[in-house]
Chain A
Amino acid sequence: MNKITIYLNNKEHSFTDIPSKRLLDVLREDFDLIGIKEGCGEGECGACAVLINGRLVNSCLVPLANAHQKEILTIEGLSETKQGKALIDAYSAEGAVQCGFCTPGMLMASHALLKKTPHPTDQEIRIGLSGNLCRCTGYNMIIKAVKRASIEGDGLW
């Protein structure tokens, strides 16, 4: 067992655990962060997306050891920020949430996109969200929501 340190949603945690354990399981089971969902377990659907040192990654593919000494932002952390709130309001206003299982991952991807491109075009939004599968919405309302967040939350990213 190795000592692992992570900066999870701006809080430092040091603990011992199996380094090869999936970050997804550590966050869901040990930290009870249930907003992170498992949809495919193969890094294809994006439901388990988190930000590690600001980069969007699928936590089902990350061994815990790779998160050592890194900053991890999950939906639980994002939703407490101004950017998170702007995104959540925009998703709601545009009707972008149906079953909701992809939504936390979608929001993480939206945030990662806006950090890089605060005023994205529709095509940039489509590409930015293309690693996150949604089966309910046909994506149009999600794309409008990101657009809305970028306008109403102007200056936040």
Chain B
Amino acid sequence: MVDISKRIKKVDSDEKSIGKAKYISDYKMEGMLYAKTLRSPHQKARIISRTYPVLPKGFYIVDVKDIPGKNFIKIIYEDMPVFADEFVNHYLEPIALVVGPNKEIVLEILESIVIEYEVLKPNYEYNDSAINYHFTKGNIDNARKEANRVIEYEYNTPYQEQLYIEPQGMIGHCEEGQITLVGSIQCPYYVKNAVISVLNSHEDYVRVKQSTVGGAFGGKEEFPSLLACHLAVAVNKINKPIKLIYEREEDMETTTKRHPAKIKLKAFIKDNEILGMESNVGIDAGAYIGLSGVVLSRALIASTGAYTIDNLEINGDVFITNTVPNGAFRGFGAPQMLFAVEMFIHHIAKELNLDALELRQKYLAKQNDATSTGGEFRDPIIMPEMLEKVLKESNYKQKVKEYEGTYKGIGMSWFLHGCGFTGSGEATHIKALVKLEKDINDNVTILIAAVDMGQGVKTTMRKIVSNILDIPIKKVIYNNPDTNHVPDSGPTVASRTIMIVGGLVARCAKELKETWKNNEKQTVSKRYKQPSFIKWDEENFVGDAYPAYSWGINVIEVEIDKYTYEVTIKEGWSAYDVGKAIDEQIIIGQADGGQLQGIGYGYLEVMNAKNGKIQQKNVTDYIIPTSVDAPVLHTYLMDNPYPLGPYGAKGAGELTLVGGAPAVALAIENAIGKVVTKIPVTPEYIMELVNNE
């Protein structure tokens, strides 16, 4: 039998290389109009009046009055308007859409609109809590009483911009009596449900299709629903095709980013034992909640990282501020928390004068240990083998001693990532449905809503089906999802696509193989059922928050310029347990890209808001790693097949990002011999640490 992990040629590689793959900006339609968004110049204000100019023929202004349904972007909470009505709550909040056949005239109309505001006082502090979660594990009061020492640190993490190279974009039009949205999206059914809600329409009235996605990283999870709602309302009114493409500045200033967070960790210590821990987390949602509650859950559940601590008190808030709403970004709350935990375990070791590596090993989670929510790590944990490999290849132990304070440094992070939706999401909200259809020529079509945004799912899904059915990959078809044809297999998020959707696809393929009849049409479908042993109490955060966990170790080596404090990333070594790689090359590609995004978050990518305005507006002032900044990364994939995943596969996409920031921050800490408590660790921050003797 062929090893499923052996690389195959990616099915879409050549089409993209020659420039024939169609991204949303490449679409043209007969009579297509252009749209531009009118936005608030204020962070918080009441709209007193609107004066619209007399419009030339063929030009339109679309706003809240044109909405037939609910003026909310349907996601979880009904708090974020499609178009501002009486109030604006953040700078550049959308108020209206100007639409017409000529881009310049659209801009002129936009300039001539007069909105009168009563300016209100904005709030940027972490004091307006919209959501609070609190839970405990074990007996934290006993741990507090027995402890003879308390160690406490506060960690801060900033915004991070997804910076997909293809900006947000969508086209809306009418096609065969349906409002149809084509766009750069991760979640066709999120878009469809949001549009049904804003139009108050029957579900058959809305169709959503995916164009080739030029990168997403979570940034095209919930945000595109806003563009879709704007366009759907406009198309509903105007009945013509309309294209809405954000330019980079508009994209960077107005779309969702990684939530800034403040994390306080407290350890209760007795005789060098960690008896218990307290974790207090605040995340900045921006003006509207969006997915922030779910982001907070993932952060809180990751409070002990890769370690088992018996007694815990965990508390967190989603704070509303008058800033751009934050949202999904690869890792989804975990990168913030894992940065804090990984620094904390080192800081505890430093305070207690213990070897940090030994302290890590002492508390490393083992199979059958209780998770932070009192669930169980059911599957084998192979971190010790992974560690052995990484230590050997990187020579970490020797270097970490040698380098201390020499402006050369090495840092290590350990991490896990819960695969799939947090809590009972898969079982109660998503209930993924997957279909395989065979035609009379024995071509098999995979019908799922999963989107290939570069992570290679078109290749891996087809590979799974062709391997199980033992047919050439050419006989397996997987088109970009179109909600008229594919069932709702859930959003392309949360490292769930291969494990959950791919698992169902594999089960369909197995059934098709067993019932295979040559040259006959056949259809097989499967719906997700939570394994019965997975129990989750959503109210109290008790039980199994995830069906499975992927694990990783990153080691990063840096060198710091003694005079400029500029950091050079020299080399990296990583081991990952993603169960089983469906395609080794694809997973290593995820590892390279994810890790560099995590490393960038740790030392390079500066984004901040001043008076509620994002200060970095393009790649000129928001610096992401280039080919010169990227280190050689050595990646070791360790097999640890997960019984319920296809061929043993678990989640992979997010895992590769979450350890980057702590590894680089600890490497810098090692190089300068100081305590780092925030990212990015910029030359300015290093100077501050070095000068503060």
Contacts and interface: CB of A to CB of B under 8 A. Distances in A.
A76 B20 CA distance: 9
A38 B246 CA distance: 11
Nearest to A122: B632
Nearest to A141: B589
B633 A101 contact: no
A104 B248 contact: no
Contacts of B589: 95, 98, 136-138, 141
Interface string A123-144: 0011101111111111111110
B377 interface: no
A140 B633 contact: yes
Interface string A1-29: 00000000000000000000000000010
A145 to B, nearest CB: 10
B366 to A, nearest CB: 31
A88 to B, nearest CB: 4
Interface string A84-102: 0001100111010111111
Contact of A35 (B18, B595, B618): B18
B641 interface: no
A87 B14 CA distance: 10
Contact of A133 (B167, B456, B626, B633): B626
Contact of A37 (B20, B23, B213, B216): B23
Interface stretch (B4-12, B49-57, B479-487, B607-615): B4-12
A71 interface: no
Contact of B17 (A40, A91, A134): A91
A100 B214 contact: yes
A138 B9 contact: no
B212 A100 contact: yes
B58 interface: no
A143 B14 contact: no
Contacts of B166: 37, 39, 99, 101
Residue of A38, A87, A91, A97 most packed against chain B (CB within 10 A): A97
Contact of B13 (A92, A104, A132, A133): A92
Contacts of B23: 34, 37, 101
B453 interface: yes
B19 interface: yes
B9 A92 contact: yes
B592 to A, nearest CB: 3
A127 B597 contact: no
Contact of B18 (A37, A45, A88): A88
A25 to B, nearest CB: 10
Contacts of B214: 37, 99-101
Nearest to B635: A140
A15 B600 CA distance: 45
Contacts of A142: 627
B593 A107 contact: no
Given A99-B454, A140-B592, A132 B627 contact: yes
B165 interface: yes
B455 interface: yes
Interface in B188-239: 212-217
A98 B454 contact: yes
A48 B160 CA distance: 25
Nearest to A143: B627
Interface string B570-612: 0000000000000001101101111111000000000000000
A122 B213 CA distance: 29
Contact of B248 (A39, A92, A101, A139): A39
A120 interface: no
A41 B247 contact: yes
B442 to A, nearest CB: 27
A88 B19 contact: no
B247 A138 contact: no
A62 interface: no
Contacts of B593: 98, 134-138
B343 interface: no
A42 interface: yes
A112 interface: no
Contacts of A93: 9
B629 to A, nearest CB: 9
Contact of B619 (A44, A88, A103, A129): A44
B26 interface: yes
A76 B627 contact: no
Contacts of A41: 247-248, 618
Contacts of B167: 39
A95 B165 contact: no
A102 B165 contact: yes
A47 interface: yes
B200 to A, nearest CB: 35
B617 to A, nearest CB: 10
Contact of B165 (A33, A79, A101, A139): A101
Contacts of B619: 39-40, 42, 44-45, 133
8 contacts: A42-B248, A97-B17, A99-B16, A100-B214, A102-B165, A104-B18, A127-B627, A129-B627
The 6 A-B residue pairs whose C-beta atoms are closest, nearest first, are A35-B19, A100-B16, A101-B214, A99-B454, A138-B592, A98-B454
